[in-house]
Amino acid sequence: MMKNRWPVAFQVIETLENAGFEAYVVGGAVRDFIRGVHANDVDITTSATPSEVKQLFSHTIDVGIEHGTVLVVLEETIEVTTFRSEATYSDFRRPDQVAFVRSLREDLERRDFTMNAMALSKEDVVIDYFEGQADIEANLIKAVGDPLKRFSEDALRMLRVIRFSAQLDFQVDENTLEAIQSLHELIRHVSIERVKVELEKIWTTAHAGKGMDMFVSSNLAKEFPGDWSTNVEEWKSFSAFENKINGWAFFALSQEIDINLAEYKCSNAEMMYVKKVLQAANNLEENRWSNYDFFQFEENVLVAAASYTSILAGKQLPYSFEEIHQQKMAIPLASSKDIVVNGNDLMEWAEQKRGPWLKEVIDKLTVALVNGEIQNDRKQIRDWFFREYDN
C-alpha cells in the first residue's frame, strides 16, 4: 500500500484530500510502480492551487509557482504541482504560460507518453486514460494523442523518447517514431541546456549505446554541433558511462575536428576534464605513457583516455585499469605540493630574482623526482640543483 511504500507522499495526499482537494501520485513514480520498480522520487498532482497548497503545510518552498509547483517539506521533500494544461506553445518549446485546471484528466493529457500519463490514488487505484499500463506491458513508448502535434508543442519530447527507450529498454511505437523522423529539425528550437540534460541521462542509462544509435538514426543528432554519426558503432559498445562527463570525453575524443563543448554549454570544470582526457590520449606514444604522464593525470583521466582510445582505434587497452592504478601508485611524487623545497629556496641557492627560469627549474626538478632520479629530500634536491645549474 502507498502508506508503506511512500509514507510521506501518502501523508501529503491525505492532507490535501481532507481539505477537500484531489491529489495523486503521477509521472515516473506511477510508471515505475506498474513496472514493479521502487521509485524514490515521487511527484504529486493536485486540484489545489499553489496558494491553497501553501496554506495546508507549514513548511513549503516556492520553486515554480507560475508553473504550479510547490515543494512540501516534511521528513522528505515532495513536489506538489497543481493540475494544469499547457495551452500556449509558441515556438516548439515548453509553454510560456500554463493554465491551472480542476480536472485530473486534462493534467494527464498534457503529459508526454502514455506510460508517464497515469495517476495513482492513495488507495493504489491506477487512473489510466491512455492505456499506459498496456503499453508498459508491451514495453512500448507511445505519445499521448497525436505525436506530430505533441512534438510540435515541445520538440524536446523527441529526445525524451530516446532517453526513455535507453533507460527502460523499451521499443518506440511506430507512429511516434515516424513523427520523430519527420519533425527532427524542430529539435533546434529547444534550448541546448535541456538537450544536454537528456544526452547526459542517455549516457548514464543501462542502454546508452542503444540510445546513441537512435539519436543518430532518428536524425536528431544532425541538428547539433559535431559529428555524432561516424563513430556510432563505437558508441554502441557502451552499456552505461560511469558518469555524464565521460560521455562528453568520449564525444570529444571521437571527433575528427576539434569540438568546442561550450556550444553544448558544458561548464568550465567539465571542459577542463575533457581537455585532460584529450591530452592524456594524445600523450600515448606507441601505446605507452611516461612516468610524468602518470604523475600529471588523475587516475580517472587515465582510465577514460585508455579505454576510449582503445575503443575508437579498435586496439587493445594500453594498460589494464589495475596497471594504471599500480603505475600511478608507483610514482614517488604524488603532487607538486609535496616537493619539500620551494621557490624561495631555489632563488636563494641561485642568488637570482624570480623569473621565467624558476618555472623551468621547478619543472625539471619535478621530472627528476617523478622519475625517481633523486628523492624528495632537501639535501638531495640541493645537490641536484648545484650539479645541474652551478656551472
Q: If contact means CB under 5 to 8 A according to the sort of partner, which of Mg ion, ligand ATP, none does residue 205 touch?
A: none
Write down the least CB distance from residue 329 to ligand ATP, Å.
38
Query: Residue 41, exposed/middle/buried by CB under 10 A (0-12, 13-18, 19+)?
Result: exposed
Task: Name the binder of 116 from Mg ion, ligand ATP, none, CB < 5-8 A by kind.
Answer: ligand ATP
Q: Select 11 or 116, whichever has its Cβ closest to ligand ATP.
A: 116
Q: Which residue has the cell 519527420?
A: 182
Residue nearest to ligand ATP (CB): 28
Closest of 357, 367, 344 to residue 389, by C-alpha: 357
End-to-end CA distance of the chain: 84
Footprint on this chain of ligand ATP (rule: CB under 6 A): 27-28, 41, 111-112, 116-117, 154, 156-157
SS3 category, 78: strand
Q: Which residue is nearest to Mg ion (CB)?
A: 28
8 Å CB contact between 183 and 227? no
Instruction: Pick between residue 171 and residue 204 the one whose CB is nearest to ligand ATP.
Output: 204
Report the nearest approach of Mg ion to the CB of residue 150 (Å). 19
In the complex with Mg ion, the residue whose CB is nearer, 41 or 169, is 41
Helices (H), 19-155: 28-35, 50-56, 104-109, 132-137, 147-153
**CB-nearer residue toward Mg ion: 43 or 153:** 43
The partner in contact with residue 107, picked from Mg ion, ligand ATP, none with C-beta cut-offs of 5 to 8 angstroms by kind, is none
Nearer to ligand ATP, 119 or 281 (CB): 119
Q: Which helix (H) or strand (E) holds 120?
A: strand 119-120
CB 218, min distance to ligand ATP, A: 17
Side chain identity, residue 157: R
The number of helix segments (H) and strand segments (E) in the chain equals: 20, 11
**Closer residue to Mg ion in complex, CB, 28/332:** 28
Nearest approach, Cβ of residue 194 and ligand ATP (Å): 9
Among ligand ATP, Mg ion, none, residue 156 binds (CB under 5-8 Å by kind): ligand ATP
Report in angstroms how near the CB of residue 158 gets to Mg ion at its nearest.
18
Q: Which does 157 bind (CB under 5 to 8 A by kind): ligand ATP, Mg ion, none?
A: ligand ATP
For Mg ion, which is the closer residue by CB, 31 or 207? 31
Nearest approach, Cβ of residue 210 and Mg ion (Å): 21
* CA angle (287, 268, 300) in 5-degree steps: 35
- Minimum distance, C-beta of residue 112 to ligand ATP, in the bound complex (Å): 4
Where along the sequence are the contacts to Mg ion (CB under 5 A)? 28
The answer to whether the beta carbons of residues 264 and 191 sit under 8 Å apart is no
**Considering the complex, what minimum distance in angstroms separates the CB of residue 167 from Mg ion?**
11
> Which distant-in-sequence residues (6+ apart) come within 8 Å of 211 by Cβ?
162, 163, 165, 166, 202, 203, 205
DSSP state, residue 73: E
132 binds, among Mg ion, ligand ATP, none (CB under 5 to 8 A by kind): none
Alpha helices in the chain, H assignment, sequence order: 2-5, 7-18, 28-35, 50-56, 104-109, 132-137, 147-153, 156-168, 174-183, 192-203, 208-217, 232-235, 244-253, 268-283, 291-296, 299-313, 321-330, 343-350, 356-370, 378-389
- The nearer residue to Mg ion, 26 or 180, going by C-beta atoms, is 26
